[in-house]
Structure 1
Amino acid sequence: MGGLSLPHLIILALVVLILFGRGRISEMMGDFGKGIKEFKKGVNEGTETPLTPPAAQIPQTPPPPPAAAAPQPVQTEQQNSGPTA
């Protein structure tokens, strides 16, 4: 009673064909197939990539600048001669 029989499916297919036309249905199926191919391609590329990014994608930090030598206090002759007693 509530099921779709073969004549119902044929009538439904004819109505869909009339509404959308043969070209539009084949275009939609072609786009659907391209989408599936792109999806599979993306999945395969995702599994082939290494866990660590390539060296070109790792941000390079510049090396720290060399430590500047601290200025030495200027010694006068009194300081050089040492204690005088």
Structure 2
Amino acid sequence: MFGFGLPELIVVLVIVLVVFGAGRLPEIGGALGKSIRNFKNASSGKEEIEINPRREDDNKTH
């Protein structure tokens, strides 16, 4: 699509590694994954925002 092949992706990964360092790569990957997940949920039209999440204790009657 944009002409990115394996050599270009490796160059980008090396640049990111130099700029951010090896210790921060997992944090960046996790944030990127959450961002993509949130974007997919928002674009599909799902409204799943819970202000007060339910606990299993709330569903049981005594």
Larger Rg: 1
Q: Which bin holds the TM-score, normalised by the shorter protein? A: 0.3 to 0.5
Higher helix share: 2
Superposition TM-score, scaled by structure 1 size: 0.34
Superposition TM-score, scaled by structure 2 size: 0.44
